[in-house]
Every structure is written in structure tokens, then in C-alpha cells.
């Protein structure tokens, strides 16, 4: 039966690797994650923050919920937006997804 299972032979002690060999793959993985995931996400968040801070009266926007609206009043944390004639809603500033070029709503 020993031809199916090889006998365990005593081996010498395993070679000890340096700490650099242990840490280098972890640092390499962190570098890859930083440049592929973390950095682009931070850049996109920074662009969104500057866009939200630059919102003003008369801008046409799209919200996270898909509303197409025109800003009629700007507050510190909220925007009053007109979504139809005589229909206004208040939304939070950070709920704005993108700013549209002027006149987009009338063209639709």
C-alpha cells in the first residue's frame, strides 16, 4: 500500500526569508489598489464637491433620483428647484448628480 502514499521523509529546516521578502508583496498590492481604486475615487469625490459648491440660481441639474430641474433658490444645505410650472421641490445639495448646459430643459 505504500506505493499509493509516499513516505514522509525528514527534511532540513526551511530556509528563512527576510522581512523584505514578506513585506514587498503586501506593499505591491497596496500600491496597485491605491492607483486603481482609491486615487480615482478620491479624484471623483473632489470634482463632485467642487461642482456642488459652484451651484447657483438658474443652473439646470439632474439629481440622484433622476429629476431634471432648474435651481430657483440656493441655501447652505438645500436647493429649491423647479421641476414643472408652479411645482418646486427642495433637495439636498449633495443629491445633485450633474449640471446640464443652459437651455437643456426647454429643448426637451
3-state helix, strand, coil in the chain (%, to 5): 40, 25, 35
Q: Which of 64, 58, 73 is nearest to 105 (CA)?
A: 58
**56-108 belongs to CATH 2.30.30.100:** yes
pLDDT tens digit string along 67-87?
Answer: 999 999 999 999 999 999 999
Residue 18 three-state SS: coil
3 pLDDT more than 90: no
Q: ∠84-85-88 over CA atoms, to 5°?
A: 60
User: Which whole number is the average pLDDT over 32-58?
Assistant: 95
Quote the pLDDT of residue 107.
Answer: 87
User: Which whole number is the average pLDDT over 102-108?
Assistant: 87
Quote the pLDDT of residue 108.
Answer: 80
- Interatomic CA distance for residues 64 and 66, integer angstroms: 5
* Residue 13 half-sphere exposure toward CB, CA atoms < 13 A: 3
Quote the pLDDT of residue 17.
Answer: 65
Domain ranges in the chain are 19-54, 56-108
Amino acid at each position: 500500500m505504500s506505493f499509493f502514499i509516499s513516505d514522509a521523509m525528514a527534511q532540513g529546516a526551511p530556509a528563512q526569508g527576510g522581512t523584505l521578502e514578506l513585506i514587498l508583496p503586501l506593499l505591491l498590492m497596496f500600491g496597485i489598489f491605491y492607483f486603481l481604486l482609491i486615487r480615482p475615487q478620491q479624484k471623483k469625490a473632489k470634482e463632485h464637491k467642487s461642482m456642488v459648491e459652484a451651484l447657483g440660481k438658474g443652473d439646470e441639474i439632474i439629481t440622484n433620483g433622476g429629476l431634471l430641474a432648474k435651481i430657483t433658490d440656493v441655501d447652505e444645505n438645500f436647493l429649491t428647484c423647479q421641476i414643472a410650472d408652479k411645482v418646486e421641490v427642495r433637495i439636498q445639495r449633495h443629491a445633485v448628480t450633474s449640471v446640464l448646459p443652459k437651455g437643456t430643459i426647454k429643448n426637451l
